[in-house]
Structure 1
Amino acid sequence: MIKLLLNDRKLKILEAIITDYIENAEPIGSRTIAKKYNLGISPATIRNEMSDLEELGLIEQPHTSAGRIPSDKGYRLYVDNMMRSRELTGEETEFLKNAISFNVGQIDYIMQQTARALAMLTNYTTVITEPTSKKTVLKKIQLVSLDEQSVVAVIITEDKTVKNTVIRSTDVPEGDRLTKINARINSVITGVELEAIDKDNVARLLTDFPENRAFVTEVLKVAFKTVKSSENLRLYTSGAKNLLGFPEFSDIEKAKGIFRALDEKDLLITVLGDDNDSRDSVKIQIGDENNMEELKNCSIVKANYKVGNSSFGRIGIIGPTRMNYSQTVSVLSSIIRRINHIMA
Structure 2
Amino acid sequence: MSKEQLAKVDAMLRQPRPEGRRSVEELRAGFRALMDTMVVPDDARTTQTALGGRPALHVTPDNGARPGTILYFHGGGFVFGSPETALSLTAQLVSKTGFDSYSVDYRLAPEHPFPAGLEDNLSAYRALLDSGLDPSAIAFAGDSAGGGYAVTTALAARDAGLPLPAAIVTFSPGLDATRTGESMTTKDGIDPIFTREAVMHTGAMYLAGQDPEQPLLSPALFADLTGFPPLLIQVGTNEILLDDSTRLAARAREAGVDVILDITADAPHVFQAFAGGTLDEADHALDRAALFLTQHVPTP
Tell me if both proteins adopt one fold, taking TM over 0.5 as the criterion.
Answer: no
- Structure number with larger C-alpha Rg: 1
Please indicate the TM-score interval, normalised by the length of the shorter structure. Answer: under 0.3
TM-score w.r.t. structure 1 length? 0.22
